[in-house]
Structure 1
């Protein structure tokens, strides 16, 4: 079971991170109008790239299978541009809870 679309009230834009080049980070073209639920919550999380603990100031919940690896750029509903710190797929096969993708942002 997926997270119900009716709960995903916000729209975000995601530029998936693909790596670094001699000229800086490489991103795929922006994916606009991604349905999500955005919460501006402060939480300490571990950065996937180097294991350091950083403070996350936004949490984005979206449908499962979202292409948003750590390092991706996100534009939140208010226009703020942020970077994904960690991404987690939540599933619970056989249980009556929805599957979703959680992205923690700087």
Structure 2
């Protein structure tokens, strides 16, 4: 396959892999009544429900029970509320932008969830 065509095809994670949908309510901060969230947004993703240890933005070692792989450009601030396809509600630990810079790996956003 032509090298340029290969790079174009692998620019982002293929949409056919985005077989799940999660709902993200962005974390806006705390108030006297508790955490405040913005309006919910549905996001197509590939959801991997696997438990693993990750580091939080504060540097603590925490347990992630799920990871959502999404198209580039998706944002999910730490502490945002996420509803999984099963109905389980969880929170964002951290979001990582994965950019292969033309190395042939698909660019995507990785959202690590509690």
Same-fold call, TM cutoff 0.5: yes
Among 45, 57, 61, the residue aligned to 2:54:
45
In the alignment, is the contact (CA less than 8 A) between 2:78 and 2:95 conserved in 1? yes
Residue equivalent to 1:77: 85
Deviation at 1:14, TM superposition (A): 0.5
Can you give the 5+ residue segments of structure 1 that lack an aligned partner in the other structure? none
Among 91, 95, 106, the residue aligned to 1:98:
106
RMSD over equivalenced CA pairs, Å: 1.0
| Matches of 2:16 and 2:27, distance apart in 1 | 28
Residue equivalent to 1:89: 97
| Matches of 2:102 and 2:15, distance apart in 1 | 20
Deviation at 1:23, TM superposition (A): 2.1
In the alignment, is the contact (CA less than 8 A) between 2:25 and 2:80 conserved in 1? yes
Count of aligned positions: 104
Question: Are 1:56 and 2:55 an aligned pair?
Answer: no
Question: Going by fraction, where is helix more abundant, 1 or 2?
Answer: 2
1:30-59 deviations in whole A, cap 9, x for unaligned?
002x100001111111111x3221111101
| Matches of 2:98 and 2:29, distance apart in 1 | 25
Question: Are 1:26 and 2:36 an aligned pair?
Answer: yes
| Matches of 1:51 and 1:45, distance apart in 2 | 9
